[in-house]
Structure 1
Amino acid sequence: MPDFSEQQSLESKIIKILRITNEPLSAHALSDIYNFSYTKVKKILKGLASDGVVYALEASRGTFYFIPDKYFKRDKDMLESERKLPFIWYEDLSSKELETRKEKILSTISKIKKDYQKKDLGASEYFQLIQEKNEELMIINQIIEDRISKKTKKCYYCHEIIDAENSVCSHCKKEMPVCSVCKRRIYDGAEVLACPNCGAMAHGNHLKEWLKSIGSCPKCKQPLLEKDLIIR
């Protein structure tokens, strides 16, 4: 069974390249220039062409692919389409468009289940359709979650969700610690290390890199080795 995430990743890269170059490219060109597997590139391009996401231009030197104008416009027909769209297309959608698409998928899933219960769909077709819709739903939910996570963080002390723009937690009222290296706030989930001499905290990877070149605490300036750091 093909790796779904790998397929989506390569598909996204191909579309990004076609968008940036803004000119027709062949499967050979894409695979040679960017060191992709020709077989995989060809298969993905054919799939994208059949879905209307890219256009295939037949020429004497072979088939060339390019992005149609409607891809950029993200017209209503594509938004309401029943077909699964490439991952990069979802990334370009606004939050409202993502929610609209999500509602469309949930409605379709409900219809598929009803058709299966009425025996209008066979088991094989049912499970295939459900899997496709769930995969699409997973992509959309992940993008939505990623966007939310950029706006919110978890308090380092009480682990409650807080606005990333606030330096003080609205729940425990504590001020977020600041990395002694990068000077940015430290939130829950980050690896945190501290100086055993002054207690200065920092993102683990930042402090380790600092000690490799400086060899002393960024705050108290005392000589410090990585093995002596305290895990917070």
Structure 2
Amino acid sequence: MALRGYLFWGLLVLLMINSWGHDSVATRVSSSYNRTSFPADFVFGTASSAYQEDVQLMKFMGMDAFRFSISWARILPRGKLSGGVNKEGVAFYNNLINELISNGLKPFITLFHWDLPQALEDEYGGFLSPRIVTDFVDFAEFCYKEFGDRVKHWITLNEPWTFAFLGYDLGSLAPGRCSAWRNNDCPAGDSATEPYIVGHHMLLCHGVAAKVYKEKYLVRPQ
């Protein structure tokens, strides 16, 4: 019973894009990959735009927490602050957060759930480049500033090992890279090295983003 105050009964959802073409949403790597890997009318990682109904259902079920992912490409269509901010995307997440809190649910936010903006993949290979660290931390800090007055629970990266292994070793997850000896369907990649490079850069992203939060945004109990 001593742990009661630290337990949450919640729901985890991959909440990224409602539907193609809304909010001027930019393409992310997983959408490009999935469009050619699934039927034409299949949309991966969707969440209902009628979030008020979803929140009411969670409240009815007695939940007190909701973990969801923020789409990097929905906030920063070009992947970088210099490329501009999608205000409609920011408004959607603000509305969702406010709706959760007003109904007694604590928001838990995941900053990266495998939806890298396509622009960064095209520019420098995404997580294969150390340049990803700066862009990820910029995105993370934007979210801290925009949502941090209400959100106190943050997850930097969802299952980084799985992302590196499936995306760069087996080639079964976006961006679908691997060696030919691993999977003949992969257009490019090196299963012997790339998963480790990606994993290293993901750890750097986590480390720097967590450091920024602790030093600038974490409110410690007095």
- State the TM-score, normalized to the length of structure 2: 0.28
The structure having more radius of gyration, on CA atoms, is 1
- State the TM-score, normalized to the length of structure 1: 0.27
Instruction: Kindly indicate whether structure 1 or structure 2 has the higher relative contact order, using CA contacts under 8 Å at least 6 residues apart.
Output: 2
